Amino acid sequence: MMPSICVFGAGAIGGLLAARLEQAGTAVSIVARGAHLAAVQQDGLVLLSGGERIVTRPHAVPHGDAIGPQDYLILTLKAHSLEPALPQLAPLVGPDTTIVAAINGVPWWYTFGLPEPFGGRRLDSVDPGGALWAALPPSQCLGSIVYPAATIAEPGVIDHSYGDRFSLGEPDGTRSPRANALSGLLIAAGLKAPVRPRIRDELWVKLWGNMAFNPISALTTATLDVITGDPGSRSVAKAMMLEGQAVGEALGVRFAIDVDKRIEGAAEVGRHRTSMLQDMETGRPLEIEAILGAVVELAGWVNVDAPISRAVLALVRQRAAMRGTGGG
């Protein structure tokens, strides 16, 4: 029997996932809103990828109560949008639902299964009050690291520019049947979906760049090539990343590459506007806390001094406050 799958927040990345799964014959529901939802309901979900124009027809609804508890609930929202969405998410989560957190930054479930004294400790920066932990139980969560880049070209149309990997991993490192089953469906849909035994290691390698390049770009409006090519901004990014590495390693993370290689990898992307810069330019809230606030909070937990990261965090928080739309 085919599992029930819902993609919640089916914008660019969620739309890419839903379209690929539908194209491969796996039925998917999506929860979306506004003009994007209306376009999908009327004309289907269109994916532009590799020179192809693919029209798919997922079941598109405005609210989770229209479809009920799912076998897999794939969350592709920005981290700060999760708590406001909890009333809509509640009807989709049953006792056997696997919650796939395809979200940038440090997720609310991060400490689940860690050894003492960190195991089960709530991250105030990403889950103040513990609402996410209660409504989206970490025991039901499956980690996911998102690598593709895509945008909503117009309502109902997803433009996929590069990348096809969605790494998966259980917080406890096991290769579970639920992880294997979802991996198989994503692979059948033409995506790469390795199941990683140490998903936090991969999470940190991606976070490593995001924690530095995203806030620096929001403060300076510089693209990746400028940040990595200018000696001043590059040195600030490297200092932040070394602080982040010290935090991750204190929590048991293994970094498979060194900081200079990670920076060079970012430089090779070229004239790229980070997601935080794009949000800055379009007046959307900045995704600050999961990307940098959590790193600074964790630094306090493990007694790692992170003065550059703290300073940049203070500045980008103020930048968000001054523009009036805030950050989360």
Q: Annotated active-site positions, please?
A: 206
Asked whether 328 and 276 are in contact (CB, 8 A), the reply is no
Which runs of consecutive H residues, i.e. helices, occur in the chain? 12-23, 34-43, 82-89, 131-135, 177-188, 199-220, 224-229, 231-250, 259-269, 275-282, 294-301, 307-323
In a 13 Å sphere around the CA of 15, the CA atoms on its Cβ side amount to: 29
Query: What is the distance, to the nearest Å, from the Cα of residue 212 to the centroid of all Cα atoms in its chain?
Result: 16
Secondary structure E strands in 76-131: 98-101
- Give DSSP secondary structure letters for 41-65: HHH-EEEEETTEEEEE--EEESSGG
Show the tokens assigned to 6. 């819902």
Reduced to 3 states (helix: H, G, I; strand: E, B; else coil), residue 149 is: strand
Looking up tokens 């079941």 gives: 59
- In single-letter form, the type of residue at position 298 comes to L
Give the pair of three-digit tokens for residue 202. Answer: 């991969």
How far apart, in whole angstroms, are the C-alpha atoms of residue 170 and residue 144? Answer: 9
Nearest Cα residue to 83 out of 30, 136, 34, 37: 136
